[in-house]
Amino acid sequence: MDKRGGKGRQKIEMNLIESKEARTVAFSKRKNGLGKKAKEYSNLTGEDVGFILFTQDGKPHSYGSPSIEKVIDKFHELKQNDSLQNHTDMRKTNVFEAFEDLRKEVQAFKEKALDSEMPTDKHMLENR
Protein backbone atom coordinates (compact mmCIF):
# COMPACT_ATOMS: atom_id res chain seq x y z
CA MET A 1 0.00 0.00 0.00
CA ASP A 2 2.68 2.54 -0.78
CA LYS A 3 1.61 6.06 -1.45
CA ARG A 4 3.68 6.81 -4.49
CA GLY A 5 3.01 10.20 -5.88
CA GLY A 6 0.92 10.54 -8.96
CA LYS A 7 -0.62 13.60 -10.51
CA GLY A 8 -3.57 11.67 -11.73
CA ARG A 9 -4.80 11.45 -15.26
CA GLN A 10 -4.01 14.52 -17.30
CA LYS A 11 -5.82 15.80 -20.32
CA ILE A 12 -3.83 15.33 -23.51
CA GLU A 13 -4.18 16.25 -27.15
CA MET A 14 -5.20 13.36 -29.34
CA ASN A 15 -2.10 13.55 -31.43
CA LEU A 16 0.97 11.37 -31.81
CA ILE A 17 2.73 10.96 -28.49
CA GLU A 18 6.21 12.26 -29.13
CA SER A 19 7.99 10.49 -26.31
CA LYS A 20 8.97 7.02 -27.36
CA GLU A 21 8.69 5.77 -23.80
CA ALA A 22 5.30 7.32 -23.19
CA ARG A 23 4.14 5.97 -26.52
CA THR A 24 5.21 2.46 -25.60
CA VAL A 25 3.22 2.66 -22.41
CA ALA A 26 0.25 4.00 -24.31
CA PHE A 27 0.43 1.09 -26.73
CA SER A 28 0.08 -1.32 -23.88
CA LYS A 29 -2.63 0.51 -21.99
CA ARG A 30 -4.69 1.39 -25.04
CA LYS A 31 -4.43 -2.07 -26.52
CA ASN A 32 -5.70 -3.60 -23.32
CA GLY A 33 -8.43 -1.00 -23.06
CA LEU A 34 -9.61 -1.67 -26.59
CA GLY A 35 -9.64 -5.39 -25.94
CA LYS A 36 -11.73 -4.95 -22.85
CA LYS A 37 -14.22 -2.71 -24.60
CA ALA A 38 -14.57 -5.15 -27.47
CA LYS A 39 -15.16 -8.03 -25.11
CA GLU A 40 -17.73 -6.01 -23.21
CA TYR A 41 -19.53 -5.21 -26.42
CA SER A 42 -20.04 -8.84 -27.29
CA ASN A 43 -20.86 -9.80 -23.74
CA LEU A 44 -23.48 -7.11 -23.32
CA THR A 45 -25.09 -7.30 -26.74
CA GLY A 46 -24.54 -10.92 -27.70
CA GLU A 47 -23.29 -9.80 -31.09
CA ASP A 48 -19.93 -10.42 -32.67
CA VAL A 49 -17.07 -7.99 -32.74
CA GLY A 50 -13.44 -8.06 -33.68
CA PHE A 51 -10.54 -5.71 -34.05
CA ILE A 52 -7.07 -5.60 -35.47
CA LEU A 53 -4.30 -3.24 -34.57
CA PHE A 54 -0.60 -2.85 -35.16
CA THR A 55 2.05 -2.00 -32.63
CA GLN A 56 5.34 -0.16 -32.76
CA ASP A 57 7.28 -3.11 -34.04
CA GLY A 58 4.78 -3.54 -36.84
CA LYS A 59 3.25 -6.61 -35.31
CA PRO A 60 -0.42 -7.39 -35.82
CA HIS A 61 -2.67 -8.04 -32.85
CA SER A 62 -6.24 -9.09 -32.98
CA TYR A 63 -9.26 -9.94 -30.94
CA GLY A 64 -12.44 -11.50 -32.14
CA SER A 65 -15.60 -13.03 -30.86
CA PRO A 66 -15.85 -15.77 -31.93
CA SER A 67 -12.60 -15.17 -33.84
CA ILE A 68 -11.14 -12.45 -35.97
CA GLU A 69 -11.27 -14.59 -39.09
CA LYS A 70 -14.89 -15.49 -38.51
CA VAL A 71 -15.73 -11.86 -38.01
CA ILE A 72 -13.91 -10.85 -41.17
CA ASP A 73 -15.62 -13.56 -43.20
CA LYS A 74 -19.01 -12.64 -41.82
CA PHE A 75 -18.33 -9.01 -42.55
CA HIS A 76 -17.49 -9.61 -46.18
CA GLU A 77 -20.40 -11.94 -46.56
CA LEU A 78 -22.96 -9.53 -45.18
CA LYS A 79 -21.41 -6.58 -46.88
CA GLN A 80 -21.70 -8.32 -50.20
CA ASN A 81 -25.30 -9.29 -49.77
CA ASP A 82 -26.96 -7.00 -47.31
CA SER A 83 -30.39 -8.52 -47.64
CA LEU A 84 -29.09 -11.90 -46.59
CA GLN A 85 -31.06 -13.46 -43.80
CA ASN A 86 -28.84 -13.66 -40.78
CA HIS A 87 -28.72 -16.87 -38.80
CA THR A 88 -28.34 -16.86 -35.07
CA ASP A 89 -25.11 -18.54 -34.08
CA MET A 90 -23.68 -16.87 -31.04
CA ARG A 91 -20.92 -18.69 -29.33
CA LYS A 92 -18.97 -16.37 -27.18
CA THR A 93 -15.42 -17.29 -26.39
CA ASN A 94 -14.46 -14.82 -23.73
CA VAL A 95 -10.90 -15.20 -24.81
CA PHE A 96 -9.32 -12.91 -22.32
CA GLU A 97 -10.93 -14.51 -19.30
CA ALA A 98 -10.22 -18.02 -20.48
CA PHE A 99 -6.73 -16.96 -21.47
CA GLU A 100 -6.03 -15.57 -18.03
CA ASP A 101 -7.37 -18.69 -16.38
CA LEU A 102 -5.04 -20.84 -18.44
CA ARG A 103 -2.11 -18.57 -17.82
CA LYS A 104 -2.60 -18.81 -14.08
CA GLU A 105 -2.94 -22.55 -14.33
CA VAL A 106 0.31 -22.84 -16.21
CA GLN A 107 1.98 -20.55 -13.72
CA ALA A 108 0.80 -22.74 -10.85
CA PHE A 109 2.12 -25.86 -12.51
CA LYS A 110 5.45 -24.29 -13.17
CA GLU A 111 5.91 -23.03 -9.66
CA LYS A 112 5.06 -26.45 -8.35
CA ALA A 113 7.64 -28.05 -10.61
CA LEU A 114 10.35 -25.54 -9.78
CA ASP A 115 11.68 -27.33 -6.72
CA SER A 116 12.50 -30.39 -8.75
CA GLU A 117 13.76 -28.99 -11.99
CA MET A 118 14.75 -25.75 -13.67
CA PRO A 119 12.90 -25.58 -16.98
CA THR A 120 14.30 -22.29 -18.30
CA ASP A 121 11.13 -21.90 -20.19
CA LYS A 122 10.01 -18.40 -20.96
CA HIS A 123 6.90 -17.13 -22.54
CA MET A 124 6.50 -13.71 -23.97
CA LEU A 125 2.82 -13.30 -23.57
CA GLU A 126 1.69 -9.83 -22.90
CA ASN A 127 -2.03 -10.09 -22.55
CA ARG A 128 -3.73 -10.19 -19.25
C-alpha to C-alpha distance for 45 and 78, rounded to whole angstroms: 19
Distances 33 to 37, 86, 89, 115 between C-alpha atoms, Å: 6, 30, 27, 37
Beta strands per DSSP E along 16-128: 49-54, 60-65
Residue choice 20, 29, 49, 108 for contact with DNA (CB under 7 A): 29
C-beta of 4 vs 116, nearer to a second copy = 116
- Considering only CA atoms, which of 55, 63, 72, 5 is closest in space to residue 34? 63
59 binds a second copy (CB under 8 A): yes
| Shortest CB 99 distance to a second copy, Å | 5
Q: Which of 5, 9, 14, 118 binds a second copy (CB under 8 A)?
A: 14
104 near DNA, rule: CB under 7 A: no
Least distance in Å: CB of 103 to a second copy?
A: 6
* Interface segment toward DNA; rule CB under 7 A; list 35-43, 65-73, 78-86, 88-96: 35-43
Question: Does 25 participate in binding a second copy (rule CB under 8 A)?
Answer: no
Strand segments (E) across the chain: 49-54, 60-65
The site for a second copy, by CB under 8 A, has a size of 73
Rg (CA), the chain: 20
**Cβ nearer to a second copy, comparing 101 with 114:** 101
